[in-house]
Chains A and B, each alone.
Chain A
Amino acid sequence: MSTEHIVQVMLWSVVTGGIYCAGLWLYKISRSQPLLHPIVTSATAISVLIFSLGISLTNYLQATHWFSWLLNIATVALAIPMYQQIQVIRHYGWRVWLPIIAGGIAAPGSAWLFAWSIEAPEDLQMTLLAKSITTPLAIDVAGAIGGIPALAAVIVILTGLVGAVFAPWLFRFFNITNPIAAGVGLGTAAHAIGTARAVQMGQTTTAVATLALCINGIATAVVLPLLFG
């Protein structure tokens, strides 16, 4: 590792962290406006910075690559809220896991159906099937079933982002107040980003979203390659 690389890593990590903190503050003073969620404001501000200063995108991504490690560590830590709420999950039984499984089929299924109906390219159709599972899994699964791995990553991230930003707002609009219901919706439709959003909505929501993330991730990874591999 060269000194220059280390400097880049430190610089871009601090910039990303700093911008995120500013985004967090903005989100707080805006009283949690969905469009001002820190992930949206940070990504926008950093994109503007990169493009206006003419910084290479590859440089930025290489310098912040270690964030994916932190992401993995945080994902493992989701076991804690899940454990603390395991009684709640057990208590509601099928009322929680049945919708999670149904949603795990409906989310990619509906996306695929649309792509199929407008006769989108077949590799795109296959890629969409992996849309509701967490990124590393989606990349592998898309590759295994004849989709486009790189596109899978994009679709997964955008799916999570849209779900995390707009779903809580829609829950309020449709008067969906039960924290378990919110967790099933977020975790099933918007995987890990939705689960990260659920953390801000309370422990029950987080636990149920994590359950959805695990069930769907594992089930999709096992079932899709068997069907199409």
Chain B
Amino acid sequence: MVNDAIRLLAAGVAIVTCLLAGAWLSTLLPVRLPAAILGLLLLLFCLCVCGKVPNALQRTARPLLVHMPLFFVPAVIAVWQFTDVIKTNGLTLFVAIVVSTLVVGVALAAWVNTLLKDKHEH
């Protein structure tokens, strides 16, 4: 029981360490890349070296991933700070955000869907 808790905690520390290493790395690179993306790549690299995902890591990561939308809530609320800009550029923003995002997203998915279907048929 206690051992298990320690393992989960260690897995959490490992993820945070990757994030911190990513933050440090981002200050060294000539192009600024976000700490989280660099941390992700570092963890991916570690997993490739390790050859498997430790059970504790899997269990610690699961709730974080499943409830990721929760962590976006304050960022969405922050949009209220910019109602003026949104009002002034309403049409441009609407087309750019709603139309372009959905058209591109769906067209891409449809394209990949067809590509993969062809691969299966051959």
Contact = CB atoms under 8 A, between A and B. Distances in A.
Q: Do the two shown chains form a genuine complex with each other?
A: yes
Interface of A: 16-17, 20, 37-39, 42-43, 46-47, 50, 57, 60-61, 64-65, 67-68, 70-84, 86, 92, 95-96, 99, 102-103, 106-107, 110-112, 114-115, 118, 120-121, 124, 128, 131-132, 134-137, 140, 148, 150-151, 153-155, 157-164, 166-167, 170-171, 174, 176-178, 180-182, 184-186, 188-190, 192-197, 199-200, 206, 210, 213-214, 217-218, 221-222, 225
5 contacts: A57-B80, A77-B65, A120-B89, A158-B93, A196-B68
Contacts of A96: 112
Contacts of A60: 74, 77
B57 interface: yes
B77 to A, nearest CB: 6
User: Interface range on chain B: under 10, 10 to 19, 20 to 34, or 35 or more?
Assistant: 35 or more
Tell me the dominant secondary structure on chain B's binding face. Answer: helix
Interface string B1-39: 000000000000001101100100000000111111101
Contact of B113 (A47, A79, A151, A177): A177
Given A83-B48, A136-B34, A182-B109, A199 B76 contact: no
Interface in B49-65: 53, 57-58, 60-61, 64-65
Given A140-B32, A174-B106, A185-B108, A72 B66 contact: no
